[in-house]
Amino acid sequence: MIQYCTGKIVQTPITKDLPKFSGSFASHYAPKAQVILDRTPLKGDGFIALFEIKTPNGAIRLASPKNSQEYARCLYDALREADNKNLSRVIAVSPKGNEIEVAIRDRLGKASAERN
């Protein structure tokens, strides 16, 4: 993606001793609530989806971004809001697309990764 966006060729060093940095782990920031992707929320579940997707009855809307850029900016705030509300589940509808949406889906996947 770096090469696509900047036009600069990126070379990955072949070593097992690469530095660890935020976003490089299989699991990333995840709320206390279980994050479930692309399902219909039940009553009392948190819900994150693009604005045009209607909030199902009984779900607690955590974010209604108008586009993918806004989704990327508000995702972690919405997950923290789930913690503040002591929700047990958050349903997130993954945005479709092949640009910033790829990064959003990656973040959502890491937030939904099982914690040990």
Find the CATH number of the domain harbouring 48.
3.40.50.11030
Give the residue from 74, 103, 96 showing the smallest Cα distance to 5.
103
Q: Is-above-0.85 flag for pTM?
A: no
Q: Which residue has the tokens 């579940």?
A: 45
Helix axes 68-84, 100-112, angle to 10 degrees: 20
**Strands 89-92 and 60-63: what pairing?**
unpaired
Residue 3 CA to residue 28 CA, distance in Å, equals: 24
Number of domains present in the structure of the chain: 1
Residue 46 falls inside a structural domain = yes
Asked if residue 21 is part of any domain, the answer here is no
**pLDDT for 5-50, tens place per residue?**
777 777 766 555 655 544 554 445 668 899 999 999 999 999 999 9
Domain-located, residue 8: no
- The whole-number pLDDT of residue 115 equals 45
Residue 36 lies in a domain: yes
Examine residue 62 and state whether it is found in any structural domain, yes or no.
Answer: yes
Domain that holds residue 36: 29-112
Continuous H helices in the chain: 2-6, 68-84, 100-112
Whether 57 maps to a domain, the answer reads: yes
4 within domain boundaries = no
Residue 30, pLDDT score: 66
Per-residue pLDDT tens digits for 59-110: 999 999 999 999 999 999 999 999 999 999 999 999 999 999 999 999 999 9
